[in-house]
């Protein structure tokens, strides 16, 4: 039997080595939105969170960046402003070397106008090195950058690499992002490392819409060996003469901005949108993440580099518990044959430990699948956090059934360089006890178990059916110039999650417990019947499988002292339960 002091030391050491955390942080009286994150590749294992803070009426908005360490603790935090720019709104960031590059929009041309911006920011201090604004056409239309990536591709065809950035977004004749606007267009902006523009293209539909709606938007850029794959949406009709619909954008250009092919399509009866893509180097295929309003769920479309849709890898999922939408597509950290989807659930209801009803909007979820077949390879896991989306606000995720076009990068996966393994990192939202909205940070290992509460549910896989539509693209004129953005240091509070139980299954199912916990030899489950289990270590490795109940034990005597997870399958749900081996 270990002494209490030694056991405490062991548990602290395990906690530091395992790395998973769940925290929230922010400032009093402020409401956070448009949150996205990216790793900082300076060997620190730190990450950057970008977003905007609002007052209680959402009448004022301020750009904010927080640098976090691998434990979720704030390293520095800044808000960003300029006396000559009434609005600076950040919508995406990307890290390159020791810098963070941000994009979004600024009001350079006066109130209610929008111009794209890119800011070069020191990752170590948060101070702005330089920034430019960019306008499309003369006189300029309102424009905003929704996604930024780094590229080392040849931008001008001289067979020499031109390191720089690619920004995708929208420009419009209206003061806000609105599908009823007479003119909406997508754009791609290519710059060099000094933020000088090299070319700009626009994307428009090549269909025969009725003119009721305009869904021509770009929200994502994914690099492949031969060009850039663009996601977003394009307006079209499944049948000629029927109402305008939002269709999935699947558009491909070369590194110089020239059109190569388009495989856009309509899936459902109203709104379809692609939100992210992943290029698989082994198969040389593109996996495109989509959301469909008809199914209230997400799906994936597989394409080759000629634009052909691969039926075996193209699918969508369904479930009676509606409204989970994908935002990000990344590699699995456990199996190279799989990919991981992360996103937000529109609304979930459950009870706390005292039986009080709880509502969570924009709850983070993850879903792992096999690339070749789409088959689910790990439980759909949703991390339950009390939150109500603040409104009214243009980029409120749930003003409509699902977000119109803006799907920020709210997750990434990363192998820490200190030997603590590879983890998934996510940012979401929590309504704290004083009612402000703060960022919620979650890091998990391969087990997907968070430090607070979650639920699991099975999803049904269905083959993709679609109607082709098309988009076109071409070069457009632009203007640009320098702007000044000033960093203002802030003091941010960091809090652990407020919830008091480690895991729950679907709200309708029974919560089980393990006993004794800690356990030395035999471990039991509070179930009258034997149920299947899989035992994991904190690195996500399956150690054994079997059956367990209140009379049928798991022999844990052969395992080293530490923290373990038991995955239980019961009543069509899955629960992940932690226990301590002493």
Judge if the upstream peptide bond of residue 368 is cis by omega within 30 degrees of 0: no
Q: What is the DSSP letter of 519?
A: B
Please name the residue that has the structure tokens 């709880």: 358
399 CB-contact burial (10 Å; exposed 0-12 / middle 13-18 / buried 19+): middle
Report phi then psi at 203, rounded to 5: -125, 130
Q: How far is it, in rounded angstroms, from Cα 142 to Cα 176?
A: 8
Closest C-alpha to 423, from 19, 108, 32? 19
What the block records as the tokens of 379 is 């439980």
DSSP-assigned beta bridge partners for residue 566 = 535, 577
Residue 172, SS3 per DSSP: strand
Q: What proportions of the chain, in percent to the nearest 5, are helix, strand and coil? A: 5, 55, 45
DSSP-assigned beta bridge partners for residue 407 = none
Contacts of 391 (CB under 8 A, 6+ apart): 58, 399
Distances (CA, A) of 563 to 100, 150, 532: 36, 39, 20
* Total residue length of the chain: 582
Residue 573 confidence (pLDDT): 56
Q: Which residues of 445-525 form beta strands (DSSP E)?
A: 454-457, 460-463, 467-468, 471-475, 478-482, 486-489, 493-496, 514-515, 522-525
Residue 499 confidence (pLDDT): 60
Torsion (CA) 168, 169, 173, 176 in degrees, nearest 10: -160
Residue 13, SS3 per DSSP: helix
Q: How far is it, in rounded angstroms, from Cα 144 to Cα 219?
A: 10
Q: How far is it, in rounded angstroms, from Cα 259 to Cα 247?
A: 19
Break the chain into its structural domains and give their ranges: 514-581
What the block records as the tokens of 458 is 């099975």
Q: How far is it, in rounded angstroms, from Cα 230 to Cα 251?
A: 5
DSSP-assigned beta bridge partners for residue 159 = none
Neighbours of 183 (CB within 10 A): 12
Q: Which fold has domain 514-581?
A: Immunoglobulin-like (2.60.40)
Instruction: Give counts: helices (H), strands (E), the chain.
Output: 1, 45
Residue 5, SS3 per DSSP: helix
Q: How far is it, in rounded angstroms, from Cα 95 to Cα 104?
A: 15
- Torsion region of 430: left, alpha or beta (phi above 0 gives left; psi -120 to 50 gives alpha): beta
Three-state SS annotation for 237-266 = CCCCCCCCEEEEEEEEECCCCCEEEECCEE
Distances (CA, A) of 469 to 53, 106, 247, 474: 38, 33, 8, 18
What is the end-to-end Cα distance of the chain in Å, rounded? Answer: 8
Neighbours of 435 (CB within 10 A): 11
pTM as predicted: 0.85
Mean pLDDT in consecutive groups of 10 residues from the start of the chain, 582 residues: 34 46 93 97 94 91 95 95 90 98 96 96 98 96 98 97 98 94 97 98 94 95 99 94 94 99 96 98 98 98 99 97 97 95 95 81 97 94 93 88 97 87 95 94 91 88 97 98 96 79 39 83 90 76 87 93 78 69 85
Residue 239 confidence (pLDDT): 87
Q: What is the DSSP letter of 15?
A: H
Closest C-alpha to 324, from 306, 304, 341? 341
What the block records as the tokens of 499 is 């919830």
Report phi then psi at 552, rounded to 5: -110, 115
Contact (Cβ atoms closer than 8 angstroms) between residue 25 and residue 495: yes
What the block records as the tokens of 214 is 């305009």
Q: How far is it, in rounded angstroms, from Cα 65 to Cα 580?
A: 37
Q: How far is it, in rounded angstroms, from Cα 81 to Cα 74?
A: 21
- Torsion region of 220: left, alpha or beta (phi above 0 gives left; psi -120 to 50 gives alpha): beta
Report phi then psi at 129, rounded to 5: -85, -40
Residue 362 confidence (pLDDT): 97
Residue 498 confidence (pLDDT): 64
DSSP-assigned beta bridge partners for residue 330 = 340
Q: How far is it, in rounded angstroms, from Cα 439 to Cα 431?
A: 9
Q: How far is it, in rounded angstroms, from Cα 426 to Cα 181?
A: 33
Q: How far is it, in rounded angstroms, from Cα 417 to Cα 433?
A: 36
């Amino acid at each position: 039997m270990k002494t209490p002091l030694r056991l405490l030391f062991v548990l602290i050491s395990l906690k530091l080595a395992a790395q998973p955390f769940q925290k929230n942080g922010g400032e009093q009286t402020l409401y956070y939105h448009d949150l996205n994150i990216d790793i900082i590749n300076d060997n620190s294992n730190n990450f950057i969170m970008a977003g905007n803070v609002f007052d209680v009426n959402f009448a004022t908005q301020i750009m904010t960046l927080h640098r976090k360490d691998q434990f979720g603790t704030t390293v520095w935090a800044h808000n960003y402003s300029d006396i000559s720019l009434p609005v600076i709104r950040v919508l995406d960031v990307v890290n390159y070397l020791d810098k963070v590059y941000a994009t979004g929009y600024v009001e350079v041309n006066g109130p209610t106008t929008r111009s794209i911006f890119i800011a070069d920011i020191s990752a170590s201090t948060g101070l702005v090195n330089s920034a430019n604004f960019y306008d499309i056409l003369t006189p300029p239309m309102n424009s905003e950058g929704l996604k930024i990536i780094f590229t080392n591709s040849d931008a001008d065809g001289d067979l020499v690499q031109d390191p720089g950035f690619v920004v995708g977004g929208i420009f419009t004749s209206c003061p806000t992002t609105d599908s009823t606007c007479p003119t909406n267009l997508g754009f791609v902006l290519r710059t060099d490392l000094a933020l000088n523009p090299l070319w700009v293209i626009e994307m428009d539909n090549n269909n025969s819409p009725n003119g009721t709606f305009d869904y021509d938007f770009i929200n994502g850029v994914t690099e492949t060996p031969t060009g850039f794959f663009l996601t977003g949406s394009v307006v079209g009709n499944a049948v000629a003469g029927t109402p305008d619909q939002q269709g999935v954008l699947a558009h491909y250009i070369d590194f110089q901005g020239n059109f190569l092919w388009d495989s856009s399509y309509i899936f459902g009866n109203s709104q379809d949108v692609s939100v992210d893509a992943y290029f698989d180097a082994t198969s040389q295929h593109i996996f495109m993440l989509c959301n469909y309003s008809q199914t209230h769920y997400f799906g994936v479309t597989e394409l080759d580099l000629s634009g052909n849709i691969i039926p075996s890898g193209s699918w969508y999922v369904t479930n009676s518990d509606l409204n989970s939408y994908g935002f990000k597509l990344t590699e699995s950290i456990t199996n190279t044959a799989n990919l991981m989807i992360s996103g937000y659930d529109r609304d979930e209801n459950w009870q706390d430990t005292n039986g009080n009803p709880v509502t969570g909007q924009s709850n983070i979820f993850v879903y792992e699948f096999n690339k070749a077949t789409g088959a689910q390879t790990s439980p759909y896991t949703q991390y339950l956090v009390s939150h109500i989306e603040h409104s009214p606000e243009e980029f409120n995720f749930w003003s409509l059934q699902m977000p119109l076009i803006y799907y920020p990068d709210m997750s990434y996966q990363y192998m820490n360089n200190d030997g603590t393994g590879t983890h998934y990192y996510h940012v979401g939202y929590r309504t704290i006890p004083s009612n402000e909205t703060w960022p919620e940070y979650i890091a998990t290992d391969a087990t997907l178990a968070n430090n607070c509460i979650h639920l699991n549910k099975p999803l049904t896989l269905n083959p993709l059916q679609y109607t082709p539509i098309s988009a076109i693209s071409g070069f457009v004129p632009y203007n640009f110039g320098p702007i000044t953005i000033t960093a203002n240091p802030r003091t941010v509070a960091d809090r652990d999650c407020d919830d008091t139980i480690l895991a729950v299954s679907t709200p309708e199912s029974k919560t089980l417990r393990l006993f004794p916990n800690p356990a030395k030899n035999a471990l039991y489950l509070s179930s009258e019947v034997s149920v299947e289990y899989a035992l994991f270590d904190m690195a996500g490795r399956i150690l054994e499988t079997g059956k367990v109940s209140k009379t049928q034990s798991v022999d844990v005597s052969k395992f080293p002292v530490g923290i373990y997870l038991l995955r239980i399958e019961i009543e069509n749900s899955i629960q992940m339960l932690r226990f301590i081996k002493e």
